[in-house]
Amino acid sequence: MQISVEKNYTHGLLFQASYTFSKAIDQGASFEQQLNPLNFNATRGLSLLSAKNRFVFSPVWELPIPKQEGIAGKFANGWQLSAIITYQSGFPIRIEDQNDGELQSSFFFEDANTPTVNGKVQFVNPKKNGGIFFNSDNFTDPTLSTPPPLGQFGNVPHSLCCGPPISNTDFVVTKKTPINERWTTEFRAEFYNLFNHTQFSNPDGNFTDGPAGTFAPNVPLPGTFGVVLTTREPPRVLQFGLKFLF
């Protein structure tokens, strides 16, 4: 479902607002991923590009300040505000297990296997839990048991819903000042990520990297499975510019 509202420029204001409600499903996280040859539906799940909710609001507003003449007009006239405000649901998290316990490995393609989860996946606040986004304690790889039940596929789909949401506001203040009939100056103050929100990227979904806080086999440091390692957007950035138009 797509809803869009537009306001043409009147009384110094124009804007566009759009909302999308959607769901995308596929049978593989990438072109290279193998399918389960015994059950194609086993690899069916949310597409990594699926975003359930997305809202974008883009206003432009010329401030309704009474027009002034002379020197006062150079300071009071020509102020304009604009913004791009984005709110979006998180993207699905790519889940994989590279131990090839299903014995379907290919030199050219990614394994179809994923780990096994016992119970409901518990999501936690990464800001309060050292970057951990979901609890990896109830994820296991059955092929690591003794003796290993080779040929078994995990029960986790290729994507897990969902990663951190997006909440971002970019804001611009513009001031146009005519010098004479030919020359005009334009001052711009731009604020990217105005409210300085931490925009987390998706956490590590590779079970082979080891559960967070434990020492996995052949992993010299605590594992990163379920841990947010990067951010999607930088902290607040301020940028100033001055143009001469003629």
Dump pLDDT digits (tens) for 141-159: 766 655 556 667 778 888 8
Tokens of 19: 């909302």
**Residue 145 CB contacts under 8 Å (≥ 6 apart), including other chains:** none
Looking at 35-39, 66-70, 89-93, 157-161, which range is the least confident one? 35-39
Looking at 42-46, 76-80, 142-146, which range is the least confident one? 142-146
Dump pLDDT digits (tens) for 201-235: 999 988 888 777 654 555 555 788 889 988 888 89
Assign 136 a pLDDT band (cuts: 50, 70, 90). confident
For the residues 53-66, what does the mean pLDDT come to? 93
**Residue 230 CB contacts under 8 Å (≥ 6 apart), including other chains:** 201
- List residues bridging with 29 in a β-sheet: none
Sign of CA dihedral 221, 209, 211, 92: positive
Looking at 52-56, 158-162, 234-238, which range is the least confident one? 158-162
SS3 186: strand
Tell me, what's the pLDDT at 4?
96
Tell me, what's the pLDDT at 116?
82
Tell me, what's the pLDDT at 174?
94
**Residue 103 CB contacts under 8 Å (≥ 6 apart), including other chains:** 150, 151
Tokens of 227: 């841990």
SS (H, E, C) 135-173: CCCCEECHHHCCCCCCCCCCCCCCEECCCCCEEEEEEEE
DSSP category for residue 68: -
Give the mean pLDDT of the chain: 84
Using the CB atoms, write b or e for 15-46: b if 16+ within 10 Å. Answer: beeeeeeeeeebbbbeeebbbbeeeeebbebb
Question: Taking 80 as the threshold, does the pLDDT of residue 34 lie above it?
Answer: no
